Amino acid sequence: MSEDKVFEALAAEVEPDLGPSGRLRPAWQRALTLLPYALFAVAGLVLVLGVRKDAAALGPWWLWGVGALQLAVSFAVFRFMLNESLPGQTSRPRSWLAATALVLAAQISAARFTYDRSPVPLGGDERLPFGTACMGLMTVIGVPVLLLGMFLASRGLPARPRVTGLIAGVAGGLAAEAVYRAHCPYSDAMHIVVWHSGAVVFLGALGFFAGAVWSMRDRERWRNRRTR
Amino acid sequence: MTDVTADAELSALMVSYQEGQFSAFTELYQLLAPKVRGYLRSLTWSQEQADDLLQETFLQVHRSRDSYLPPRPVRPWIFAIARHVFLMERRTFARKRSREVLGHEGVDVPVPPEVERLADRLALQKTLKELPEDRRELLMLHHVWGFSFQEIAGMLGIGAGAAKVRAHRAMSELRERFGNAAEGVDE
C-alpha cells in the first residue's frame, strides 16, 4: 500500500468520526472514585453487621485511623494501576511485585499492631467458620473495586491486562481490608495471614484471570476486524 | 527544531486533534508516520505489513486519543500504541505467521546514524536483523528515534537500567560484527 493510500484509507475512517473526544482525567483523579465506594461500604457494613466488639479498647485511631491509612495505600496502588494502563506508561515487573508486597505489608503490619492493643482470642473450633466468613465478605467488598478498576483501566490501552487485573485485585483486597477491619475484631497473625491475606491473594488472582479473559476477547475482536 | 520544541508542537497538535480538528490529525500523521513506519518495519521486517500496521496504529491512536494527557510527550505515547498494535497482530496470528518466512531482504529499515559509516546500509540492516529482537528494539528506539531510556522503559515495561544495558549490549554486538572500525561509536 502506498503512503498516500494509507492516509486516504485512514482519513476515510477518521474524518467522519472526528469530534471533540474529551480527555481522561489524571490517574489520581480517576482513582478518587475508590473513596466514595469505600465510605459507602464501611457505612453499610457497620449498619448491617455492627462495629467490632473491641472498638472501645482500640479507640478512634486504631479503629478508624489505621483503616484510613490502609485505604490511602490502596488508593496509591489503584492510581498506579490506572497510570500503568495508559500507553507509554507500562511499569516493570518489579514495580507491580512491589505494589503487591506493599498491600500485604500494609495489611499484616496493621493487624500486628492492632493485636498488640487488643488481642481478641479466637478459639480453635471458631477459626474455620470465622475465617471463611471473613474471606467471603472481604471478597464481596473487594470485587466492586476490582471491576471499577478494570472498567477505568479499559479507558486507556493496557499493555498487559493480566497485570492490570492483578493490581486492581490486590488494591481491591486492601480496600476491602480497610473497610472490613471496622467489623472483624480478630487480628491474630494466623487468622489475618490465612484468611484476610488469602482474600487479597484471591482477589489478585481473580483480577489476573479477568485480565486473561480481557486479553482473549481483545485478540478475538482483533482477529475479527483483521479478517473481515 | 529541538526535541523540546518538537514535543511542545506535537502536544499542541494532539490537543487540537482531541478538540476535533482534522487538520491537526493530518499534521500529526505527516510528522510522525515516517518514524512510526520505520519502527514497524524494524519490528516486522516487511514493508507491506508495516504499512498495514501503520494504518492500524493510527486508527488505534484515533480510538485512544482521549488517553493522551498533555503535556506528556506524544512520541512515546504513539510508539507505545504502535508496539501494542504489532503485539496484538503477532499474538493473534502467531500460528499463521510462524509458517511464513518472517521478513525479507530489501526492507528499508533505518539504521543508527552512529554506525552508518561502518559499512554499507544493506550490510548494517542484515546485521541488525540478526541481533536478538529485544536488544535490536532497544538499540533502534534509543539510537534511531532518540528516546530516552526512561521513555523506553515506559514503552516496553522494563526498568530504565535494563533498557540501557540491552542497548549497550546491542551496540557491543554491532561493534564485534564490524570490528575495530566501530570502536568510536557513542553509546
Mean per-residue pLDDT, B43-68: 93
pLDDT score for B83: 96
Interface check A7 vs B, CB under 8 A: yes
Q: How far apart are CA B57 and CA B51, in angstroms?
A: 10
Chain centroid to CA B150: how far? 15
Whether the predicted pLDDT of A217 surpasses 90: yes
pLDDT category at A4 given cuts 50, 70, 90 is confident
pLDDT category at B6 given cuts 50, 70, 90 is confident
pLDDT category at B106 given cuts 50, 70, 90 is low
pLDDT score for B140: 92
- Of chain A, the percentage scoring pLDDT greater than 90 comes to 88
* List of chain B residues whose C-beta atoms are within 8 Å of the C-beta of residue A153: none
Give the length of chain A: 228
pLDDT category at B165 given cuts 50, 70, 90 is very high
Closest approach of A170 to chain B, Cα-based (Å): 20
pLDDT score for B95: 60
Cell numbers 492483578: residue: A166
- Do the Cβ atoms of A6 and B51 come within 8 Å? yes
In chain A, residues 83-122 whose CB comes closer than 8 Å to chain B: 86-94
Per-residue model confidence as pLDDT tens digits over A148-192: 999 999 999 999 999 999 999 999 999 999 999 999 999 999 999
Mean per-residue pLDDT, B25-33: 95
Interface check A212 vs B, CB under 8 A: no
Whether the predicted pLDDT of B101 surpasses 60: no
Per-residue model confidence as pLDDT tens digits over A58-99: 999 999 999 999 999 999 999 999 999 999 999 999 999 999
* List of chain A residues whose C-beta atoms are within 8 Å of the C-beta of residue B22: 11, 14-15, 18
Whether the predicted pLDDT of B61 surpasses 80: yes
Q: Which of B55, B89, B151 is opposite residue A9, by nearest beta carbon?
A: B55
Q: Which residue has the higher pLDDT, A130 or B102?
A: A130
pLDDT score for B182: 46
Mean per-residue pLDDT, A202-221: 96
Whether the predicted pLDDT of B104 surpasses 60: no
pLDDT category at A116 given cuts 50, 70, 90 is very high
DSSP secondary structure code for residue A194 in this structure: I
Mean per-residue pLDDT, B161-171: 92
Q: Are the C-beta atoms of residues A186 and A120 closer than 8 Å to each other?
A: yes
Whether the predicted pLDDT of B99 surpasses 50: no
pLDDT score for B129: 87
Look over chain A and give the mean of its residue pLDDT values, rounded to a whole number. Answer: 94
Whether the predicted pLDDT of A125 surpasses 90: no
In 3D space, the residue among B82, B39, B75 whose CA is nearest the CA of residue B60 turns out to be B82
pLDDT category at A228 given cuts 50, 70, 90 is confident
* List of chain B residues whose C-beta atoms are within 8 Å of the C-beta of residue A86: 67, 69, 77
Whether the predicted pLDDT of B185 surpasses 50: no
* List of chain A residues whose C-beta atoms are within 8 Å of the C-beta of residue B58: 10, 14
Q: How far apart are CA B142 and CA B184, in angstroms?
A: 17
Interface check B20 vs A, CB under 8 A: yes
- Do the Cβ atoms of A219 and B91 come within 8 Å? yes
Alpha helices by DSSP H, chain A? 3-17, 27-31, 34-49, 55-60, 66-84, 93-117, 127-153, 161-180, 189-191, 197-227
- Do the Cβ atoms of B157 and A15 come within 8 Å? no
Q: Are the C-beta atoms of residues B152 and B83 closer than 8 Å to each other?
A: no
Whether the predicted pLDDT of B103 surpasses 70: no
- Do the Cβ atoms of A89 and B84 come within 8 Å? no
pLDDT score for B3: 62
